Amino acid sequence: MFTIEKLKRDLETIGIKKGDTLLVRADLGAIGKLETRKREDYISFMLDAVGDEGTIIGLSFTGGFSIKKNKNNFFDGKNKSYTGAFANTMLSHPKAIRSAHPTNSYVAIGKNAKYILENHDENSGAYEPIRKIVELGGKMILIGCVESSPGFTTTHLAEVDLGLHKRIIFPTLNGAYYKKNNEIKLFKRKDLGSCSSTFYRFYGHYVKNELLKQGYVGNAYSILIDAKKAFDLDLKILQKNPKITLCDNPRCMLCRARRWDNLKDMPIYFIKYIIPRILRKVFK
Ligand SMILES: [Zn+2]
C-alpha cells in the first residue's frame, strides 16, 4: 500500500518539479494499491508533484471507426477513452478539460491546460497539443507501461512534420462521427500515426543521448524525458531510418497492408488473412 506522499516523492526523485508541464501515460495497476483506496488519488499525487503552477496532460483518445462506419457511435466530449484507467480517471476530475478532436482528444488539468487544448478540434492535427508541450519546455513520463505500451507521443508528431504519415494507404478509412452544434458530422482522419508497437526501438537512442531519467513510482518502473529533446531526436531518427516504424508482426494490418513504402508484404497478407476472412463470410 502506498501513500499519496510517497508516490509524490517517487515522482520528485525521478525528476518532476513544481511548475512542470507533464504528459503522462500510465498503467495505474502497475503502480500498486493506494492507502486511501480512492481512484482519484492516482491523479492527486501527480497534481501535488507539479503544484499549482504545473499541468498534467493525458491522452483521452477515442478511436472511432476503421472502415466500417456507425453513425450511432459518435464523439461528444463525454465518451470514455480506450487508453485506459489513467485517462478516464483524469476525465472524471472536476478540474479536467478535454479537447474537441473527434478521435484524438487530450485531457489536462492545471495552469497550461487551456492553452494546450484550445483549438484542438476536427480541423487540427491529432498530435498538435504535443507541439505546445514541446514549446512550453514540458516533460513526458511513462509510468508502468515502458514495455507494454512503448514510446513517447512526440514520435507521432515528428512523423507528421516529416510527412511520413502520407505513407499510410487510405488513412481516411479511419475517422469518427462527432456531435457539434447538435449535429452529427463525419470526421475523416488524415494524419494516422504509424505502428507504435515499434517505438521501443527508439529507447536505445534516448539512452545513448542520455535523455532518460528512470525510477519507480510505487511498484511501476517509469521513465521521464524532456519533450523537446525527445522530439528533436525523434525527427533525426525518423529522417535517417523512416522504416523504423514497420513492425515484425505478420498479422499487423497497418504495417503489412497499409503502407505505401511496404507494398511487398501486401499480397501475402491478403492471401493469408483477408481472403480467408471474406470466404468465411461468404460461406457462413
Ligand atoms: Zn505494425
pLDDT digits (tens, 9 = 90+) for 73-124: 899 999 999 999 999 999 999 999 999 999 999 999 999 999 999 999 999 9
Centroid of ligand 1 to alpha carbon of 255 (angstroms):
4
> Count of alpha carbons within 13 Å of 254, Cβ hemisphere only?
17
pLDDT digit string (tens) for 141-168? 999 999 999 999 999 999 999 999 999 9
Centroid of ligand 1 to alpha carbon of 22 (angstroms):
28
How would you classify residue 32: left for phi > 0, otherwise alpha for psi between -120 and 50, otherwise beta?
Answer: left
d(CA 241, CA 204): 14
Centroid of ligand 1 to alpha carbon of 71 (angstroms):
28
- The vertex-215 CA angle with 211 and 218, nearest 5°, equals 145
Centroid of ligand 1 to alpha carbon of 141 (angstroms):
23
3-state percent breakdown (helix, strand, coil) of the chain, nearest 5: 40, 20, 40
| pLDDT-based confidence at residue 181 (cuts at 50, 70, 90) | very high
As a whole number of Å, the CA-based R_g of the chain is 20
Q: Is the pLDDT of residue 274 over 90?
A: no
Centroid of ligand 1 to alpha carbon of 263 (angstroms):
14
Centroid of ligand 1 to alpha carbon of 20 (angstroms):
33
Question: What pLDDT is attached to residue 201?
Answer: 97
Question: What pLDDT is attached to residue 112?
Answer: 98
Question: What pLDDT is attached to residue 72?
Answer: 83
d(CA 276, CA 92): 43
Q: Is the pLDDT of residue 9 over 80?
A: yes
pTM of the predicted structure, to 2 decimals? 0.94
Centroid of ligand 1 to alpha carbon of 6 (angstroms):
38
Q: Extract the C-alpha cell encoding 143.
A: 509510468
Centroid of ligand 1 to alpha carbon of 54 (angstroms):
35
Centroid of ligand 1 to alpha carbon of 273 (angstroms):
15
Question: What pLDDT is attached to residue 41?
Answer: 95
Query: 11-20, 115-124, 154-163, 267-276: lowest mean pLDDT where?
Result: 267-276
Torsion, Cα of 84, 245, 178, 89 (10° steps)? 20
d(CA 235, CA 17): 27
pLDDT digit string (tens) for 37-87? 999 999 999 999 999 999 999 999 998 887 777 888 899 999 999 999 999
Centroid of ligand 1 to alpha carbon of 68 (angstroms):
20
Centroid of ligand 1 to alpha carbon of 252 (angstroms):
5
Centroid of ligand 1 to alpha carbon of 254 (angstroms):
6
Centroid of ligand 1 to alpha carbon of 236 (angstroms):
21
What average pLDDT score do residues 2-26 get? 98
pLDDT digit string (tens) for 227-263? 999 999 999 999 999 999 999 999 999 999 999 999 9
Question: Structural domain boundaries of the chain?
Answer: 4-245, 248-284
Centroid of ligand 1 to alpha carbon of 246 (angstroms):
6
Centroid of ligand 1 to alpha carbon of 222 (angstroms):
24
Question: What pLDDT is attached to residue 171?
Answer: 86
What average pLDDT score do residues 1-28 get? 97
Centroid of ligand 1 to alpha carbon of 248 (angstroms):
7
Centroid of ligand 1 to alpha carbon of 204 (angstroms):
19
